[in-house]
Structure 1
Amino acid sequence: MRTLLVTGPGGSGHPAVAAATALRAARDGRRTLLLTPDRETAAALADAAAPGPGDGPAARPTVRLLDPAAHFRTEFLDLQRRCAPALDLFGAAPLAAEELTELPGAPAFALLAALAGLARAEDAPELLVVDLPPLPDAVALLALPAQLRRYLRRLLPAERQAARALRPVLGKLAGVPLPAAWLYETAARRDADLAAAEELLAAPDTSVRLVAEPSPDTVRALRGARTGLALHQLALDTAVAVKLLPTASPDPWLAALAAGQQAALKDVAGVLDGPPPHELAHPGAADDPATLPAPPPDPAPAAPAEEWTIEDHRADDGVLVWRIPLPGAAKTDLGLVRRGGELVLSVGPFRRIVPLPAVLRRCTVAGAGLADGVLRLRFTPDPAAWPRER
């Protein structure tokens, strides 16, 4: 299944581009599914995809509207049911479904649950188009599965779950009740869901399509997004530039605006370091997916995520160098902390905690440098942990 994740700065009209991309792909004969939280976008696509004379079923993409409120209610009531014995002990009054209002963050969890389900589906579409939140929230959402799985492993490590037969004895010895089995079972189920979503997002045929109206503010937003995506090793697709004005306008004011857009468009291409953005000049491009001539999805990401590689310079400098591509990153935005066998890496508003490769865990950090969009971390082998050469 090819997955195309569509996002952009607020006001760019990326939901309409996602819808138009799904519509175009379906009309090209691909089984396509659009996943969106936007009711207006879903309704507009349903109207645009209404079959005309001679159209067959393949001319219409499937639209799945995310319902974060319903997902939140379902998950909360399930948790409340499982915690019923403890709640009864404290005299708590259970909440009814009609009392529940979704909390901040509910849309992100609803989207991850939908992605996990699609990753396991036997009848998965050929193309999945996902309408993400605007930048930079979209980058944070894409990093969420890995972060949540790390939290689960730390808080409820599966390997430390006591055997059921020993739980009463261990509880008495410890003097405190051990976590119920359902807690570990729930954690294992959630970890499996997050793993499925994480695998889908990291698949080689998954990429992020950035949509933006060229302007100086857009260039800054895309530069930060490019760095955040590289930090989480997410591949870029061909970008889409929208709301472009005609360059040959007789109106001097419009001509000046168009010239500014063209200058910003060149900067966008430089920031993304890929093929030129696909240009959409339709004046109503951000509002009507039916008339938006969106590009068809490419068979593969336009800019695959670069690998983080380890270079061996022990013979010359006595160090190992971990090479981490971070295009667009600035030294002032970088933060590095080693915590045991993990590296906490921050770039502006984005943060990622990654386990050190096995060979680097037996080393000490000797320094770091950022040049040409690549962070190079220098590690010196620790004699106490490194095998001695004979």
Structure 2
Amino acid sequence: MRIILVTGPGGAGRTTVAAATALVEAWAGRRVLLLAADGGTGTVLDDAELPGSLTVLRPETGAGFRREFLAIQSRAGTAFDLLGAAPFEEAELTELPGSRSFAQLRALRDAAAGDHDLVVVDMPVLRDALALLALPVQLRRYLRRLLPPERQAARALRPLLAQLAGVPMPAQWLYESTARWETELAAVQAVVDAPDTTVRLVVEPGPAADEALRTARLGLALQGVALDLVVANRMLPAESGDPWLAGLAARQHDHLARLREAYGSVHPLPHLGRAPRGPEDLALLGAVRHQAPAVAPPGRTVEDRREQDGVLVWHLPLPCAVKDDVSLVRRGDELLLTVGPFRHALALPAALRRCTVTGAGLVEGDLRVRFTPDPGLWPRTP
């Protein structure tokens, strides 16, 4: 199954491109699911007669939030009673900030478990989409740090602790909930990390498009997700008798050339002269069916240079990164990497955990972190 995550800056037309991609693929006979993870596609496909091979799904975020909240409230009822807290009724619950993100991830996981040939996801705007894709890894890291599974070995002490505290200890259900969350997050992460999951960036050629491409390439490289295609939307005709329109078109095509120079796989879509609405307009954008092959971003590799320089070098691909925007800190078995607006915690490979960081350098989008083996852990052979 192929999964295409469509995102871009606000107003660039990502919802239209997602709908057009799904529609033309369905017309071609593929079983397609269009997942409106950001709640869009409504104005584009409302009241339209869709092919039978196309399914449109708009996840309902409120029900999942209410279900999870009520479950936690029920299991922690004793503690709430001791605090004098008044429990919530389902009818009075409203979504909290962040609940939509969890609903989107759950919908993506469920979609990947279906029997479709293609899943097209209308993602949030670029920065929010990158944050959403990073969420499973981040939450799993927090869960392992705050509630490590090995602490469950202390179950024999819980009755004693309950007597000392005078209240039942909720540790068991808490760990059970944590294990369930870990399983669900791991399933979502597997979908994001799958080689057939790619991101499609929609931009409108201009100064903002250049910045969006840099942000997307850098953010996706940190997460190891492939960018398969850049869609240059709303391209004006190259030739026009109107000097004003011709000037706008010329600037657009200059930016298009810069996008292609920075990232070769760029596909232009024409400006329709109106806001697209309905299958007929989307058919005019049928060229969006062009699909570049999914190419995985360069992986992280460890280069053994102990014989030459006495170090191991960890290569981290960071396309479009600027040296002044990069900082890193070693914390235990993790490398905390900050690049521009992104912060990412990278688990060190096993060999590097026995080393100390002795330097780093950024060379043409390749961050090279040097590790010197700890003599106590890497004894030299006499």
Normalising by structure 2, what TM-score?
A: 0.93
**1:335 partner amino acid:** S
CA distance in 1, matches of 2:377, 2:359: 19
CA distance in 2, matches of 1:284, 1:76: 47
**1:200 partner amino acid:** V
1:314-336 Cα shifts (integer Å, max 9, x gaps):
12111111111111000111120
- Shift of residue 164, structure 1, vs aligned partner: 4.8
- Shift of residue 286, structure 1, vs aligned partner: 5.6
- Shift of residue 90, structure 1, vs aligned partner: 2.0
CA distance in 2, matches of 1:175, 1:89: 11
1:281 counterpart = 2:241: no
Aligned residue runs from structure 1 range 290-309, under 5 A: 290=279, 291-292=281-282, 293-294=285-286, 295-296=288-289, 298=291, 300-301=293-294, 303-309=295-301
Does 327-336 or 284-293 show the bigger shift? 284-293
Q: Choose from 303, 321, 324 the match for 2:316.
A: 324
- Shift of residue 173, structure 1, vs aligned partner: 7.5
Matching residue of 2:307: 315
Q: Choose from 339, 360, 376 the match for 1:384.
A: 376
- Shift of residue 231, structure 1, vs aligned partner: 1.1
1:197 counterpart = 2:188: yes
CA distance in 2, matches of 1:334, 1:176: 49
**2:237 partner amino acid:** P
- Shift of residue 346, structure 1, vs aligned partner: 0.9
What is the number of residues matched between the two proteins?
Answer: 378
- Shift of residue 118, structure 1, vs aligned partner: 3.0
1:297-327 Cα shifts (integer Å, max 9, x gaps):
63841x3121101111112111111111111
**Contact kept? 1:325, 1:373, Cα under 8 Å:** yes
Q: Choose from 64, 79, 87 the match for 2:57.
A: 64
CA distance in 1, matches of 2:41, 2:373: 55
**1:81 partner amino acid:** S
Matching residue of 1:126: 117
**Contact kept? 1:16, 1:286, Cα under 8 Å:** no
- Shift of residue 20, structure 1, vs aligned partner: 1.1
CA distance in 1, matches of 2:164, 2:76: 24
CA distance in 2, matches of 1:169, 1:237: 57
CA distance in 2, matches of 1:33, 1:285: 26
Relative to structure 1, is the Cα distance of residues 311 and 174 closer, same or farther in structure 2, using a 3 angstrom cutoff?
A: farther
- Shift of residue 379, structure 1, vs aligned partner: 0.9
1:5 counterpart = 2:5: yes
- Shift of residue 349, structure 1, vs aligned partner: 0.9
**Contact kept? 2:7, 2:200, Cα under 8 Å:** yes
**1:62 partner amino acid:** T
- Shift of residue 137, structure 1, vs aligned partner: 1.3
1:342 counterpart = 2:320: no
Relative to structure 1, is the Cα distance of residues 75 and 289 closer, same or farther in structure 2, using a 3 angstrom cutoff?
A: farther
- Shift of residue 64, structure 1, vs aligned partner: 0.8
Matching residue of 1:54: none
Relative to structure 1, is the Cα distance of residues 145 and 91 closer, same or farther in structure 2, using a 3 angstrom cutoff?
A: same
**2:215 partner amino acid:** G
- Shift of residue 126, structure 1, vs aligned partner: 1.5
Q: Choose from 198, 204, 207 the match for 1:213.
A: 204
**2:269 partner amino acid:** L
CA distance in 1, matches of 2:380, 2:165: 43
CA distance in 1, matches of 2:237, 2:356: 57
User: Identity of paired residues, percent?
Assistant: 56
CA distance in 2, matches of 1:289, 1:227: 34
CA distance in 2, matches of 1:157, 1:297: 46
Q: Choose from 348, 355, 365 the match for 2:347.
A: 355
Relative to structure 1, is the Cα distance of residues 352 and 211 closer, same or farther in structure 2, using a 3 angstrom cutoff?
A: same
1:125-169 Cα shifts (integer Å, max 9, x gaps):
121111111011111110000000011111111121136555313
Does 341-350 or 85-94 show the bigger shift? 85-94
Q: Choose from 237, 243, 260 the match for 1:269.
A: 260
**Contact kept? 1:145, 1:198, Cα under 8 Å:** yes
Matching residue of 1:167: 158
CA distance in 2, matches of 1:66, 1:37: 7
CA distance in 2, matches of 1:328, 1:249: 35
- Shift of residue 274, structure 1, vs aligned partner: 3.4
Consecutive unaligned residues in structure 2, runs of 5 or more: none
